[in-house]
Amino acid sequence: MHPVLRTTLLILGFVWAMPMTLLGALAGLVLMPFGARARFSRMTLVFHHVPVGPGGALTIGNVILDTGATLERDALTYHCAAHGGDDRVCMADHERAHVYQYLALGIFFLPLYFACGGISHENRFEQAADRYAATGQGWWPWAKSIGAEAPPTA
């Protein structure tokens, strides 16, 4: 893709996802007095040490709320967490896929995410995020690639 076109699409994606990004930033700011710490990482606002949630990370627009000290850690794939196994992906790459999904879908991300099953190994958004984290490709939840429906087996 031509760099100018890529940059233009990225800017449009940031604008399209802005309402969700503002919601994520507000959530992070509210959590700062309780220990959350903000920093920018690869054009994304990341709040580390978020003191609430079941563990792991949550992406809201172009903001990641992370319960850990760094996103550069391994995490079980959603499939392995549900069915056993030890396939792992980098948390940063998994959450980056959700950022891309928000850039493409904007405010429609959350309704579609929950319509596809919410926080579950069966959710195509989570499958795509695991696939992207394992291979660097396929962050789009409706990818038509070989093995797109199966979870990655890194």
Confidence of residue 146 (pLDDT cuts 50, 70, 90): very low
Q: Which position has the higher pLDDT, 40 or 147?
A: 40
Residue 149 pLDDT > 70:
no
Q: At what angle do helices 124-135 and 91-105 cross, to 10 degrees?
A: 130
Structure tokens at 38: 């903000």
Provide mean pLDDT across the span 19-34: 98
| Domain boundary assignment for the chain | 3-135
Distances (CA, A) of 20 to 45, 81, 138, 149: 12, 27, 22, 27
Give the percent of the chain with pLDDT over 70: 93
Encode pLDDT of 77-95 as tens digits: 988 888 888 899 999 999 9
Put the strands of the sheet holding 44-48 in their side by side order: 37-41, 44-48, 63-66, 57-60
Looking at residue 13, what is its pLDDT?
A: 96
Residue 154 pLDDT > 80:
no
What is the tally of helices (H) and strands (E) in the chain?
A: 5, 6
Confidence of residue 50 (pLDDT cuts 50, 70, 90): very high
CA dihedral 59, 63, 68, 73 (to 10 degrees): 70
Looking at residue 85, what is its pLDDT?
A: 86
- The reported pTM is 0.89
